[in-house]
């Protein structure tokens, strides 16, 4: 009998993409005990993905946050700089993020 590759492993880091009303959310759900190295790997991946999204679509709002069980990045497309400001993305933070990413 072949193992079920969709079975929930309580020690696995699980990634998921969820549709939200104005875009999507990328989730990384972490088991209770995760090494610092694994957490760092997940955080680095989120930073890289966020930078790729912003480079390709500078008017999209990206919001990263963490919770008890993992990390989350919401991506919400907007159509104009005015809408970007209205939706909560701070342009100064975008600029600082880009400088830090390129350094």
Residue 73 domain flag:
yes
Taking only the tens of pLDDT, the chain with its 103 residues reads 445 555 566 778 999 999 998 899 999 999 888 899 999 999 999 999 999 998 898 888 888 888 888 999 999 888 777 777 766 555 555 555 555 555 4
Q: Is residue 4 part of a domain?
A: no
Range of the domain at 91: 14-102
Which of these, 19, 69, 64, lies nearest to 46 by C-alpha position? 64
Cα 61 to Cα 78: distance, rounded to the nearest angstrom: 7
User: Is this prediction's pTM over 0.85?
Assistant: no
**Considering its fold, how many domains does the chain have in total?**
1
Helices (H) and strands (E) in the chain, counts: 3, 4
- With respect to residue 64, please indicate whether it lies within any of the assigned structural domains: yes
Q: Per the domain annotation, does 7 fall within a domain?
A: no
Q: 46: which 2 tokens?
A: 């989120």
């Amino acid at each position: 009998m072949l193992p079920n590759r969709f079975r929930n492993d309580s020690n696995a880091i699980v990634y998921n993409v969820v549709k939200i009303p104005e875009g999507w959310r990328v989730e990384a759900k972490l088991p209770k005990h995760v090494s610092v190295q694994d957490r760092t790997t997940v955080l680095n991946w989120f930073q890289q993905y966020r930078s790729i999204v912003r480079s390709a679509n500078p008017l999209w709002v990206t919001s990263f946050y963490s919770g008890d069980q993992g990390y989350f990045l919401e991506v919400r497309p907007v159509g104009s700089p005015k809408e970007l400001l209205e939706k909560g993305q701070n342009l100064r933070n975008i600029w600082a993020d880009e400088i830090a990413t390129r350094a």
